[in-house]
Amino acid sequence: MIFVYKFTTNRIPVASPSIMETNSLDGVEIKFDLDNESNLKEIAFKVRGVEISYTDDKAIITDIPLIKEKVFKICCYLVNMALIQTSSDLGDPRKILLASPEVCSETEEEREIFQKIPRRIVQSVQLSWNITKKWDLTRYAEKYEKSAVYSTIADALRVNDEFLRFQQLYKVIEHCFSGSGKNLDKKVSKFLLQYDPCFTEDVIQGLRDLRRRMVHPDARDGHISAEKYGLYIGEIREKFKVLNKACYILLEHAPSV
């Protein structure tokens, strides 16, 4: 299979039209697309020779962490290089991970498989607060004591980056409960289990551990830095769903903070 990731950039002028030629870095083909005024407008990353793999329900997997990690690392490198050389920001490379790649067959055998078997598309995480067309003001006064929680969740809603959104949303737990480590996990789990049986101490610890690894470069079990974001995107998305559910419960039921 062929995977193609496209990164739409903020437009900056480039020095030479030869940049239009396809280059390769660490096994990834890179094509720079310019507009009529020789401004960079898009970078395409193409990975060839991807073996077909399947989900348990026999769909073709199009979300492969190792490939995403490599493409994301190269994209980060190019964005950082452009910023250092030109003082112009091409954009946030993490957005390349928010959409699934374009997937093409590479052989006749793969073309036949594609016609018969669906591909599993992985979408980016979205916050699942209830959205209505009209703002309900009937309860605004009774929620005022939770203004800090509302502020934290609103900040998370404003963030388009999944990596930063998870870190921001975890602060809701810290607003609502004191303590740290396993003591904090126990408090949070005990409260949330009243509303949903999924919130065991192990689950809450998993949220805390992920956030810790994002924040602390010296994390014992490995720092999840920006370059490694692509490798952990699946874990971040799954745990975000759990954290999102926890925050909704806390917004409705947690004691005043």
> Could you give the 3-state DSSP secondary structure of residue 128?
coil
* pLDDT confidence bin for 131, thresholds 50/70/90: very low
CA atoms of 214 and 186, how far apart (whole Å): 22
Question: What are the residues facing 3 on neighbouring strands?
Answer: 47, 103
- Pick 138 or 82 by higher pLDDT: 82
Q: What percentage of the chain carries pLDDT values higher than 70?
A: 83
Residues 9-21 have a mean pLDDT of 73
- Pick 120 or 104 by higher pLDDT: 104
CA 8 vs CA 32, 184, 229: distances in Å: 10, 42, 19
- Pick 200 or 88 by higher pLDDT: 200
Given a cut of 90, whether residue 46 has pLDDT beyond it is yes
CA atoms of 138 and 151, how far apart (whole Å): 19
pLDDT at 138: 55
Q: Are strands 119-120 and 60-61 parallel, antiparallel or unpaired?
A: parallel
pLDDT at 232: 79
* pLDDT confidence bin for 187, thresholds 50/70/90: very high
pLDDT at 134: 46
53-103 pLDDT, tens digit per residue, is: 887 777 777 777 788 888 888 888 888 878 877 788 888 887 777 767 888
Average of per-residue pLDDT values in the chain: 81
CA atoms of 224 and 216, how far apart (whole Å): 8
What count of Cα atoms within 13 Å lies in the side-chain half-sphere of residue 47? 20
pTM: 0.57
- Pick 184 or 118 by higher pLDDT: 184
Most confident of 78-87, 124-133, 171-180: 171-180
Residues 210-214 have a mean pLDDT of 92
pLDDT at 19: 54
- Cβ-based neighbour number of residue 162 at 10 Å: 20
- What does residue 211 show for φ and ψ, rounded to 5 degrees? -65, -40
Q: Burial-class residue 66 by CB neighbours within 10 Å (0-12, 13-18, 19+).
A: exposed
pLDDT at 198: 95
- Cβ-based neighbour number of residue 199 at 10 Å: 22
